[in-house]
Structure 1
Amino acid sequence: MNEARRARIEGFYRAFEHLDAAAMQGCYAADARFDDEVFSLQGAEQIGAMWRMLCEATRADGMAHWRLEASAITDHSAHWEAHYLFGATGRLVHNRIDAEFEFDAADLIARHCDRFDFHAWARQALGLPGALLGWTPWLRSRVRAQAARSLQRFQARSLGA
């Protein structure tokens, strides 16, 4: 096992637990790639912007509901569970995610892929529409498009600040 890589993943989740998006971004290589059920991002700047947006939303929407638990951490994978209030609907979410990582020569994250049950997430986050349509490519596509627009607006505001 590569201890430096395992330590990088542990540090990433420690930073996430404390909603420290700057420290999270610092774990990625400049040309890193991130993919999950909602986002497909390229570069540490764009990935960092996503984490900043999500961390700020969590702080604004319900720190009382925020909890992150990371487990089964190896030098290339982890399981993590996030408990939070989904601000768009005010609904509580408990999302279970499996992460895979690849690293560059400096032991920075070069690729990060998170996988979770989108339908289960949609049921919790969106309520009845998510329960009825969460399995469809149509809803997944709409959520991805909305998330991309939200990230673009967040980045534009960040540049203007």
Structure 2
Amino acid sequence: MKENDNIIVDFYQAFEKLDAEKMVACYHPDITFQDPAFGVLKGEDAKNMWRMLCHSQKGKDFRVKASEIECSRDKAKAKWEAFYTFSQTGRKVHNSIHAEFEIKDGKIIKHVDSFNLYSWAKQAMGFKGLLLGWTGFFRKKLNAQTNKLLRKFIANQEQQSNKK
């Protein structure tokens, strides 16, 4: 359906501009997001993940390219690629992601990003990623680290709001 095409196109156009507020405006209040790096995030946590990622990439060499957007009545899928320098190691990353969406009331209610975590780990972490990137231990550690960063970002945002 055309309106579902629009919500997905709008989401990725906002992502290309690192406009987190326009991205999260595409999300339903009951959004569930999932990917290999963060695991499952719901509601405001999912929205704040995009706010954190966009905020952390402003002024850096981050680039997104979406393609192959396909939509039906209540489902959509897309491919997208992210190109950036991983800040912890300074290594260049080109991540290819497959996204699947469920649409409800004209908004994205479920968003699942899938990518090869081992391939990402080798690019982002180098030798350490080559050795450990394929393990469940690595995934658990990565999920714990990304969620810790998200909690810290949310706490900082709340502090800034309270100061205003």
TM-score between both structures, scaled by the size of structure 2: 0.92
Equivalent-residue separation in structure 1 for 2:94 and 2:100 (angstroms): 20
Give SS of 1:38's match: coil
Give the equivalent residue in structure 2 for 1:128.
127
More strand by share: 2
The one-letter code matched in structure 1 to 2:103 is F
The one-letter code matched in structure 2 to 1:116 is F
Q: Once the 2 structures are TM-superposed, how far is the Cα of residue 86 of structure 1 from its aligned partner?
A: 1.1
Output the aligned Cα RMSD: 0.9
* 1:72 paired to 2:71: no
The one-letter code matched in structure 2 to 1:78 is A
Q: How does 1:26-45 map to 2 (within 5 A)?
A: 26-39=25-38, 40-43=40-43, 45=44
- The unaligned stretches of length 5 or more in structure 1 are none
Give the equivalent residue in structure 1 for 2:7.
8
Equivalent-residue separation in structure 2 for 1:136 and 1:144 (angstroms): 13
Give SS of 1:131's match: helix
Give SS of 2:95's match: strand
TM-score between both structures, scaled by the size of structure 1: 0.94
- The unaligned stretches of length 5 or more in structure 2 are none
**Deviation >2 Å, runs of 4+:** none
Are 1:58 and 1:85, in contact at CA under 8 Å, matched by a contact in 2?
no
Equivalent-residue separation in structure 2 for 1:66 and 1:147 (angstroms): 18
Q: Once the 2 structures are TM-superposed, how far is the Cα of residue 70 of structure 1 from its aligned partner?
A: 0.4
Q: How does 1:72-91 map to 2 (within 5 A)?
A: 72-75=68-71, 76-91=76-91
Give SS of 1:50's match: helix
Q: Once the 2 structures are TM-superposed, how far is the Cα of residue 92 of structure 1 from its aligned partner?
A: 1.0
Between the aligned residues of both structures, percent identity stands at 43
**What does the per-residue CA deviation read over 1:13-64, in whole Å, with 9 as the maximum and x for residues that have no partner?**
0000000000000000001100000121001x2112101111111115x2xx
